[in-house]
Amino acid sequence: MPQLNPGPWMLIGLSSWLIFLLLIPPLVILFKPVNSPTKKQTLNPLDPWHWPWP
């Protein structure tokens, strides 16, 4: 049965770990979000239109 031969699966597993450990982390570290987060605007207490959601 070819499924029980560990030779090709060992190479596939090793190469996938190398991809995840060497190529993916620099892409994740260098990722910058498209829009920077903004501060929540504070409502004026005298504002007549006070909605319960921001």
d(CA 15, CA 19): 6
Confirm whether 22 is domain-assigned: yes
Model pLDDT for residues 29-51, shown as the tens digit of each residue: 888 877 777 777 665 566 567 67
With contact defined as beta carbons under 8 Å apart, do 54 and 40 qualify? yes
d(CA 16, CA 23): 10
Residues 6+ apart with CB under 8 A from 35: none
With contact defined as beta carbons under 8 Å apart, do 37 and 44 qualify? no
Planar angle of CA 8, 11, 22, nearest 5 degrees: 160
Number of domains in the chain: 1
pTM of the model as a whole: 0.40
Res 50: pLDDT? 64
Confirm whether 24 is domain-assigned: yes
> Could you tell me the residue range of the domain that residue 28 belongs to?
7-32
Confirm whether 46 is domain-assigned: no
Res 31: pLDDT? 82
Confirm whether 40 is domain-assigned: no
Res 5: pLDDT? 74
Confirm whether 15 is domain-assigned: yes
Model pLDDT for residues 6-35, shown as the tens digit of each residue: 778 888 899 999 888 888 888 888 888 777
Res 45: pLDDT? 60
